[in-house]
Amino acid sequence: MPDLEVLAGLTRAERVEALDGWLAVLLADAVAGTPPPRPRRGAPPPRTGTEGLALVAVGSLGRREIPPFGDLDLVLVHENRPEIAAIADALWYPIWDAGVRLDHSVRSIDEATSVAATDVKAGLGLLDVRLVAGDAELAARLRAATLAAWRQAASRLLPQLRDLRRGRARQVGELAFLLEPDLKEAYGGLREGQVLRAVAAAQLGDEPSAEIEAAYALLLDVRDELRRRTGRPGDVLVRQEQRPVAVALGMADEDVLLREVSLAGRRLAFVADESWRRVESTLVRRPRGRYRRVRREPLAEGVVRQGDEVVLARDARPAGDPGLLLRAAAAAARADLLLSPYTLKVLAVHSPPTPEPWPPELRWSFLRLLASGRSAVPVLEQLDQEGLLSRLLPEWDAVRSLPQRHPWHRFTVDRHLVEAAAAAAELTRDVDRPDLLLVAALLHDIGKGWPGDHSVVGEPIAERIGARMGFAPPDVATLAALVRHHLLLPDTATRRDIDDPATVDRVAATIGDDPAVLQLLHALAQADGAATSASAWSPWKAHLVAALVARVQAKLDGGQVVEPEPVLHPGGAQVVAPLPDAPDASGAVTVGIADVADGQQVTVRAPDRPGLLSTCAGVLALNQLDVRAAKMTVEDGYGTGVFAVRPRFGRAPVPEILADAVRAALEGTLPLAERLRQREADYREDGARSAPPRISWHDAEASGEATGIVEVRAADRAGLLYRLTAAIAAEGLDVTSARIETLGGDAVDSFYVCDPSGSPVDADQRERVEAALVAVIRGPTDAGTSRTADTPRQFH
């Protein structure tokens, strides 16, 4: 009996050899221990030994790819062996006793071929049939029969297989873009390699190339090492195992590993997509009658449509036409088609080097390609897979399949850039320079391929690319500015008070008081957010950015930015909760609620006292409301707090409940701190992040009463906003407004603070506030609880 741990440490070839030897012994013992049946009168003598009996492997063992702790898929094939049931029992039981998982069946050749012709999964497995022990001639006939059955049934089985793979892709995702990829079932994983072989076996596609086999072998190596590390079967490359797997495979770190996995997955997925298009085209039934030539429809100079593909015209001369590559790509995208694989190969081999700077016709074709929007994405992927995109943009190699380790990013860096360009194509009518918007969207994160702040690093790269594309110097400068400041609007809108004139002045100064740049940055922010994820560009964030842009535009137009009054929105509900010493409602707590973008606005008015903002934040947290922005103003002894909130579980806030809770907290009958501590304990989670918090101060440029901005980055948890604002208030500072954001599992909260006496917040005071904030963050409840109670917030 083989030791599973020892088997795990062997190479794949050694593991297959060891298992084959063990199974051959088991089959011999099973046959020897099973007496032949008594011969019937007139019947031929019964067969003995392994004559008419073969043990064959299918699945991973049949392909000689069985991973550590892998299942055995075995078929016992027989011909005229009446005692087959007894032999099978004698064979299977020792395997089960050894603790090896087994998928088994007993078949005659006719039974096996019948299954192969009707069951797509069984038929796919039988394509890998390989003799382990027994009658070699019988196993060879089985292989020939199942292969013939697969080819005969291909027109019926391959569409089923296609639908199975597409269904799994919807459930599991694409291997190339997952931070914890399923190496087997994700689209572009090991299954795709097996599908390509099945298509080739049906004679509807080519045998997988050496490049495909290398990508497939890489995924096998990663899976083997993953299972060795974990000591159990599993195909999901979880994050905690990525670094040790990378080191074991001789890679620098987990990012290199994830990038190599992504490149392999993208190649497998790309070739699989091409194969399915060929299969679908081949299986379409042609009408009876005389063969009709496929019509060729001109699309551009040297480019025609032929059927459902774009090909080169007969008179095209790719070697002497440097603009043909982009002209063909743009024509394909505009027609919502793909370039034929043969055309791609011809262009890859014969296209001349791109002139520098690009001629206007070349730049126009490239912009026309980007302006095609969603239909440009697969065409750009075609160019990328053939190495043509890197010829046009040599800097592209630095971001190809580069992983982004943030939960709100759906794609690798390069695919994110392509998706952003596609999203920008929907906004070209909103800007005066759509060409600059499209190129900026494609390049805004290009700096992530180099060390440092990607916005800063990307600026000279974008400048270099813009000059190479032939843009005029002022346009090149605008492109560089767009890349440098593409995060300006969303970062400012979500972390600063957009009603603060100093905030507006700072944004205007950063963009050089240029309305055209502001317009382009707004569209670029929308495209970037849409290409990231829904949580990265929520309606609330879009609303904040649009409001900031309106304020900056008003300043650039010479108008006054009027600070809005924090009053109840029209149509909202309002409730008054009198305090005990004010039965006539003077000095009462007033709560109003109105629907706003992506949530509600809660307006609380109460007698001013220290820590009023913190008290309101605590009440909102206790009522399972996520606060995303807060502002507090004081006038005539009353404080008015305006809070942008979103219900954690979709239940709208009830003004009566909030008013009563604020009143009770102010009069001391609601123990807010104790109740929030209990909530934190109730929703404690394991696996807390141990990274230290980061606290930074920024000058508020003496806007209004605020004399400083303190930004806090820490692990998100229930009641964190309440505790942070309470700690600031305990140090004698007022919080006038706050911007609340959650990035993955981190809270990124910015607080405008001022000293009630009007004195500046000096260094000693900042140091005391920092110490108080750190103490709150690292308090006894900082064990992984989440500010969002049941689940961490996933929006910005």
Question: Do strands 573-577 and 589-596 pair parallel, antiparallel, or not at all (unpaired)?
Answer: antiparallel
For residue 371, what are the CA distances in angstroms to 334, 343, 391, 419, 456? 9, 22, 20, 12, 27
> Can you read off the two tokens belonging to residue 707?
């004399």
Q: Is residue 782 part of a domain?
A: no
The reply to whether 169 and 137 lie within a common domain is: no
> For the residues 136-164, what does the mean pLDDT come to?
92
For the stretch 413-427, pLDDT in tens is 999 999 999 999 999
Q: What is the pLDDT of residue 787?
A: 36
Q: What is the pLDDT of residue 685?
A: 43
Domain count, the chain: 4
Q: Is residue 8 part of a domain?
A: yes
Place of tokens 């709150």: 776
The reply to whether 615 and 589 lie within a common domain is: yes
> Can you read off the two tokens belonging to residue 544?
């904040």
CATH code for the domain of 181: 1.20.120.330
Cis-peptide into 159, omega within 30 deg? no
Which of 564, 581, 612 is where one domain is finished?
564
pLDDT, greater one: 734 or 49: 734
Q: Which of 143, 225, 235 is nearest to 185 (CA)?
A: 235
Q: What is the pLDDT of residue 293?
A: 64
For the stretch 499-532, pLDDT in tens is 888 899 999 999 999 999 999 999 999 999 999 9
The reply to whether 592 and 695 lie within a common domain is: yes
780 Cβ contact partners less than 8 Å away, ≥ 6 residues apart: none
CATH code for the domain of 95: 1.10.357
Which residue range is the domain that position 560 belongs to? 409-564
The reply to whether 213 and 90 lie within a common domain is: no
The reply to whether 110 and 30 lie within a common domain is: yes
Mean per-residue pLDDT over the chain, rounded: 86
Whether the CB-CB separation of 105 and 25 falls below 8 Å is answered with no
Q: Which of 300, 312, 390, 306 is nearest to 346 (CA)?
A: 312
Given a cut of 50, whether residue 738 has pLDDT beyond it is yes
Given a cut of 60, whether residue 343 has pLDDT beyond it is yes
Place of tokens 């091409």: 274
CATH code for the domain of 581: 3.30.70.260
Given a cut of 90, whether residue 644 has pLDDT beyond it is no
Given a cut of 80, whether residue 779 has pLDDT beyond it is no
The reply to whether 628 and 753 lie within a common domain is: yes
> Distance between CA atoms of 667 and 113, rounded to whole angstroms?
82
Given a cut of 60, whether residue 224 has pLDDT beyond it is yes
> Distance between CA atoms of 776 and 749, rounded to whole angstroms?
14
Burial class of residue 428 in the structure, from the number of CB atoms within 10 Å of its CB (0-12 exposed, 13-18 middle, 19+ buried): middle
The reply to whether 621 and 718 lie within a common domain is: yes
Q: Is residue 414 part of a domain?
A: yes
The reply to whether 170 and 88 lie within a common domain is: no
Q: Give 574's pLDDT tier (boundaries 50, 70, 90).
A: low
For the stretch 693-706, pLDDT in tens is 889 888 765 445 55
For residue 566, what are the CA distances in angstroms to 505, 559, 740? 22, 21, 18
For the stretch 254-309, pLDDT in tens is 999 999 999 999 999 999 999 999 998 887 654 454 555 667 899 999 999 998 99
Given a cut of 50, whether residue 58 has pLDDT beyond it is yes
Q: Is residue 386 part of a domain?
A: no
> Distance between CA atoms of 733 and 754, rounded to whole angstroms?
6
> Distance between CA atoms of 353 and 363, rounded to whole angstroms?
15
Place of tokens 């807060």: 630
674 Cβ contact partners less than 8 Å away, ≥ 6 residues apart: none
Order across the sheet with 72-78: list the strands. Answer: 102-107, 72-78, 53-58, 130-134
Place of tokens 């009053």: 567
> Can you read off the two tokens belonging to residue 329?
């790509």
The reply to whether 140 and 161 lie within a common domain is: no
Q: Is residue 320 part of a domain?
A: no
The reply to whether 748 and 681 lie within a common domain is: yes
For residue 599, what are the CA distances in angstroms to 286, 639, 650? 55, 23, 9
**What predicted TM-score, i.e. pTM, was given to this entire model?**
0.82
Looking at the DSSP bridge assignments, the partners of residue 304 are 298, 311
Q: Is residue 267 part of a domain?
A: yes
The reply to whether 495 and 630 lie within a common domain is: no
The reply to whether 10 and 121 lie within a common domain is: yes
> Can you read off the two tokens belonging to residue 711?
């930004």
Which of 283, 306, 326 is where one domain is finished?
283
Given a cut of 90, whether residue 645 has pLDDT beyond it is no
Q: Is residue 318 part of a domain?
A: no
For the stretch 649-683, pLDDT in tens is 767 888 889 999 999 999 889 998 888 888 766 65
> For the residues 343-348, what does the mean pLDDT come to?
96
Which of 246, 267, 283 is where one domain is finished?
283
Q: Is residue 605 part of a domain?
A: yes
Given a cut of 50, whether residue 618 has pLDDT beyond it is yes
Q: What is the pLDDT of residue 791?
A: 31
Q: What is the DSSP letter of 506?
A: H
> For the residues 362-381, what does the mean pLDDT come to?
96
